[in-house]
Amino acid sequence: MIKKILIANRGEIAVRIVRACSELGITSVAIYSDADRHALHVKKADESYNIGSDPVQGYLNAHNIVNLAVASGCDALHPGYGFLSENPILAEICARRGIRFIGPNADVITMMGDKIQARKAMIKAGIPVIPGSDHNLANVEEARVLGNSIGYPVMLKATNGGGGRGIRRCDSEAELLKNYDRVVSEASKAFGKPEVFLEKCVVNPKHIEVQVIADGFGDAIHLFERDCSIQRRNQKLIEIAPSPQLTEAQRQYIGKLAVKAAKAVGYENAGTVEFLLNEDNQFYFMEMNTRLQVEHTITETITGVDIVQEQIRVASGLPLQYKQEEIQHRGYAIEFRINAEDPKNSFLPSFGRITRYYAPGGPGVRTDAAIYSGYVIPPYYDSMCAKLTVWNLTWESAIARGRRALNDMVVFGVKTTIPYYLSILGNEEFRSGEFNTSFVDMHPELINYDAGHPPEMLAAAIAAAIAAHNGL
């Protein structure tokens, strides 16, 4: 079994991994930039090491991070998500230095990170893919010819892209010609590679992803699906497990499809196979994320499987603890990404000091966060500052619990997406469980919410009551 893990990340996911290590009796090692010296993951880990003054580059220096893992006596490294989590170079360096990388091997990361290679692998495995190019586009003229051939609208995408970046919808030849250089530029800046490809645009699809875990003995299972259709500019906002939009037959079909995809590429560890479901109820493979997902919490909530601990077990060379028939789901879970953003101001980031913070609790409520009262959210990282996960037996009761928990959650000093989510929960289309990726764009009126959140005076009263209780 792994004994000591360096966590090559920060924020709430680093805290999450520390907790898994603690339960398994594994020593956790945190890294931090000067900007993160007061971060919660630094305080909670067993050991912590500074990686420099630059707030970003330290987390992206694979050689230095692995050197630190070796020097501090770690036998494994967990990349979390973001930063280097899907960088094959990190996995390769770990293998070369005798550090177990908690994720798939470098070859699989490379294959699935390249959208063209991934498409070819899925076609070979008999997994349905969206019609599009089977190679990187040579130039804008080739894009124009292909676009006219498959028909508009089309999606122009960075071959090595992800996270909603390096992607543009083009509804006409004119838009394709206009966006081509822009996407190439975004691909170069965000992913270091200028390659792009073209796919037919699936109009107003449902975004459904399946959590898989595979071990080193050829076994793979799925932990059912998550519905990620509530998103803005290809960035997920609210995730649901299982999807309230699928039949049981669809659920079984897509789960088996995801396991088939994982086995086809020799996948090992936790990963996510993402699909689009069109209006004709046809599933299409979109991509595979070769890492832990932000929204893994809702899958853990409905199945009872600790995905991070399973990741560590698999990386330790152990077989999966579960057979597919042993995995059951119960109720519905919803995850809200609490972003430090101002929805009424085009979702602009709202960084700064949190003057009051109160995490909700009660039955079926889970909060994953790295913030606290007095913490300063730095401007260098993603705007997500917490994740709120709620569970209940039925879809309707899960929504009610979500509303209660969001109202209980207090974050003052910065703007957040909390009131916007409360507005979404009151929408009849969302409550009906029938929505797709166009939901946010089709309901601009939801931004015009009344900030029905507890006033700061109430937050101060709650904080004072807690302080008084702790002083008894």
Name the helix (H) or strand (E) containing 269: strand 269-277
Work out the angle at residue 384's Cα, subtended by the Cα atoms of residues 378 and 388, and round it to the nearest 5 degrees: 135
Instruction: Give the ranges where 316-455 is alpha helix by DSSP (H).
Output: 395-408, 418-425, 428-432, 439-442
- Six token digits for residue 242: 């299982």
State the distance between the two ends of the chain, measured CA to CA, in whole angstroms: 42
- Six token digits for residue 144: 């124009």
Q: Which residues pair with 377 in a beta bridge?
A: 352
CA distances from 182 to 185, 251, 287 (A): 5, 38, 22
Q: Are 20 and 308 in contact (CB under 8 A)?
A: yes
* DSSP β-ladder status, 410-412 and 356-358: antiparallel
| Sheet arrangement for strand 269-277 | 283-289, 269-277, 206-214, 220-232, 235-241, 332-339, 384-392, 365-369
Active site residue 404: no
Q: Which residues pair with 236 in a beta bridge?
A: 231
Q: What gap in Å lies between CA 215 and CA 298, rounded to an integer?
A: 22
CA distances from 222 to 259, 272, 307 (A): 6, 9, 11
Q: Are 63 and 90 in contact (CB under 8 A)?
A: no
Torsion angle defined by CA atoms of residues 141, 144, 150 and 151, in that order, rounded to the nearest 10 degrees: -170
Q: Are 271 and 202 in contact (CB under 8 A)?
A: no
Q: What is the DSSP string of 75-144?
A: SEEE--SSTTTT-HHHHHHHHHHTPEESS--HHHHHHHHSHHHHHHHHHHHT--B-SB-SS---SHHHHH
Chain position carrying tokens 């015009």: 448
Q: Which residues pair with 176 in a beta bridge?
A: none
**Residues 16, 100, 119, 291: which is the catalytic one?**
291
* Axis-axis angle for helices 395-408, 418-425 (nearest 10): 150
User: Which residues are catalytically annotated?
Assistant: 291
